Structure 1
Amino acid sequence: MKLTEQTRAFIMHFGEMGSRWGFNRTVGQMMALLVIHEEALNADQIAEVLEISRGNVSMGLKELQSWRLVKLQHKPGDRKDYFTAIGSVWLMARTVMEERQKREIDPTLSLLRSNLLDQTDNNIDEYAYHRMEEIHNLLEFVVQWTDQLSSLSPAQLESLMKLGSGVSKLLELKGKVLGTSDK
């Protein structure tokens, strides 16, 4: 399988971005390849195209499966496992958002709840308590917001995204009408 220069550049860039999104460069490259390749690929094909070891591919595929970003397929008469991206770009974004919440936000909220509920120490640092409470409340809003976003269809999400700066203008107008400012 031969990649065009543009496709290879995309895959390499996606790998670099992957490290900023929660998984390593190689896993990001594998995800990019699966996203842009029309047919399911097996581990040997992925290793060949990306010029990485078969073992590295196996570990990367397990990671992508734990993120729920790829699905396993079988081809009649072929014993190899084939993989493809889970679906639309919107579904992948939603899945990454859900996994990041599960891996990062939920444990942080759990710790904050525990710390905020446990006030056995009479010498509690009021400033620290207040800041932890602010972080807790912010993360709760983020969870509520992502839960609401997760219930939207891809078409509704796209419409919401297209609103863009219109939402901030609406909030500014609301602030002017009510005489409040969030700045």
Structure 2
Amino acid sequence: MGSRWGINRTVGQIYALLFVSQVPLNADDMADTLGFSRSNVSMGLKELQAWRLVRLRHLPGDRREYFEAPEDVWEIFRVLATERRRREIEPTLSMLRSALLVTPDNDAERHAQARMREMHDLIERLMSWFDEIQKLQPETAMQLMDLGSKVTKVLEMRDALTGRGRARKAAERAADGTTD
């Protein structure tokens, strides 16, 4: 799973071991269990710490460092989403903002800038929505996710009652060049 999310395979295996482990593990235990070199485990742990996906623990009477994954899967999701945002989304938004500050000189540049503005506005809207979701208690967020397509049906019903649905469908048909 980790390699599909852009995480090194070794790091993914280290995290998987920590995630399923009932007890905190030290680097030597991880190296033995996974058949990795101690240095590979150390590098993997540093990366996982940089992502804030593991916690360092010290056990009484033991000088070694132990590591564990957070127990709460919702916390893991929040950390992953926050780190992805910081590493990927925010630099993209920054680049788009910079590009939008440039005055276009011709139609091709105006078109390109309009497309970049659409992307910027969509990402901004998604990040605002994400910020609101992050504020929810896990139980509330799970209920919201369970609603799924029911929300769409409620919005369609609202549109039908207010007439907004007909206007939107007419606009979509006009954009597609189709008629009734």
Q: TM-score, normalised by structure 2?
A: 0.85
Give the partner amino acid of 2:129. W
Structure 1, unpaired ranges of 5+: 1-16
> Which string of whole-angstrom CA distances, capped at 9 and with x for unpartnered residues, describes residues 39-91 of structure 1?
10111111111121111111111111111111000011211110011230010
Matched pairs, number: 166
Give the partner amino acid of 1:143. M
Give the distance between the partners of 1:19 and 1:100, measured in 2 at CA.
15
Q: CA deviation at 1:148?
A: 0.9
2:124 matches 1:140? yes
2:54 matches 1:70? yes
2:100 matches 1:116? yes
1:3 is matched with: none
> Which string of whole-angstrom CA distances, capped at 9 and with x for unpartnered residues, describes residues 116-162 of structure 1?
0122x523611111110011011101211111111111111211121
Give the partner amino acid of 2:4. R
Structure 2, unpaired ranges of 5+: 173-180
2:77 is matched with: 93
Aligned residue among 62, 65, 81 for 2:65: 81
2:11 is matched with: 27
Structure 1 residues 140 and 81: alpha-carbon distance in aligned structure 2, compared to 1, 3 A threshold: same
Any conservation in 2 of the 1:68–1:86 contact (CA below 8 Å)?
no
Q: CA deviation at 1:170?
A: 2.3
Q: Point out the structure with max Rg over C-alpha.
A: 2
Q: TM-score, normalised by structure 1?
A: 0.84
